[in-house]
Chains A and B, each alone.
Chain A
């Protein structure tokens, strides 16, 4: 078990955003967390990364309870997040953004890994000296993913990677997620509003509704669930 979330509760201001949420991610899987806007998907990922603090519950990553660990220490355990809205550093060059992804590393393979990211995302290499803020939305998403991969994660949390992208780019991003999972061996926890796409590439899926998990199981079974079909795949 790579990640185990047990009875997680998160308050967001006065709102009880996450209520007793439990789920598990096995090594090598793509797990999709789907649900409507405001269901608590992003809050769940933020609680895992400690960007917000959880009220109660356990978050066990690689055998360690990380629920009380400060955010800047978590990536050092090889758990990276690509946040919603990419949040790349617009005033830094593409290459500097990738360097920031490797902030905690002090090995001598960083330069090789930057080259490897360029082989995954050739468009980033063409633009490596440009300020990241000048990239298109799709390129920014690639940069955000490349930046997270620079930390050599075992588990990658992806928050709405397809948001705001054209249909062609959405397909491209989902292909890249598959590549990252199958060829790079990175386990993926994917939060998506685009439920049909997410369920197609996922092994397992959880449906989050107003802070509670209502449906869970193999992605194919979740996709065939009549409630899910009606609410998210219509």
Chain B
């Protein structure tokens, strides 16, 4: 029973990673770049929610909505200011810029909020319940539900709506998409907006789960979610979801059965293994050309 319990905890943490990983994978699929500042954008989202609740006195749902909107805007502004001027340049330039954006965001939040952790308000019901032999906290359950709903809405959007189909078209062949009249630039902005907005949901979950946020929380969350995206196959949305869940479960099992000291090492070990065995990731694209 404990094993199943740890799997459920892992899936819950993993669903948070998945929300972040989707942001990496969408931006990669459409803009063909890795936004290494994604973790910091999510850090910002935690602070936006914190300010909304603690300083503005908003109810949690309104604060989360505010955080999603502000974070989506931050993602779009980052793209316009930092990455758009580099379009057509090499990936090294983009990488260096992304690292610069990361440090900039960390330091801006350090200046405003200082480096000491801020307590994140309890916005989710505390405590836990028993189900059969399982012992599940409300936060675990709510995290799973919120992540599930968000990914469901995202899947509906990209598969059933015209704009969603256009995003997939751009991700496959931006030139052909332009011939259809699709504006590639605004599609990239939309990918940043959606990725950052979903990341904001993860940022709020992070705050609620760990109760303490500081300007550096984005770094580790971001890199773990990036590993999840690579594990699933970067560019693939189902891949990011599965990758996120797998990383969460691997981490949870390591913490309970080996040692919490090893959990990060195991996650990074997974990255090295994928790169060695299946660099394209689990759902990595392997499209064959037909003549």
Contacts and interface: CB of A to CB of B under 8 A. Distances in A.
B183 interface: yes
Interface stretch (A20-28, A67-75, A201-209): A67-75
A104 B179 CA distance: 11
Contact of A99 (B162, B176, B181): B162
Contact of B290 (A83, A99, A136): A136
Contacts of A49: 179
Interface string A44-83: 0000010100000000000000000011110110001101
A81 B290 contact: no
Interface stretch (A90-98, A119-127, A192-200, A224-232): A90-98
Contacts of B169: 89, 92, 100
Given A87-B175, A103-B162, A133-B290, A151 B168 contact: no
Contact of A164 (B184, B287, B291): B291
Contacts of B178: 51, 70-72
B290 A137 contact: yes
Name B's interface SS. Answer: helix
Interface residues on A, range: 20 to 34
Contact of A100 (B166, B175, B184, B291): B166
Contacts of B172: 89-92
Given A89-B172, A100-B165, A103-B162, A147 B180 contact: yes
A81 B173 contact: no
A103 B290 contact: no
A140 B168 CA distance: 18
Contacts of A147: 180
Contacts of B290: 133, 135-137, 140
B44 to A, nearest CB: 31
B123 interface: no
A123 B64 CA distance: 49
Interface of B: 162, 165-166, 168-169, 172-173, 175-184, 287, 290-291
Given A87-B176, A92-B169, 16 more contacts: A70-B183, A71-B175, A71-B178, A72-B181, A73-B181, A75-B181, A80-B179, A87-B175, A89-B173, A90-B172, A91-B287, A92-B165, A100-B169, A103-B166, A135-B290, A151-B181
21 contacts: A51-B179, A72-B178, A72-B180, A72-B181, A72-B182, A72-B183, A75-B179, A75-B180, A81-B179, A87-B173, A89-B168, A89-B169, A91-B172, A92-B168, A99-B162, A100-B182, A101-B180, A103-B162, A103-B181, A135-B290, A151-B180
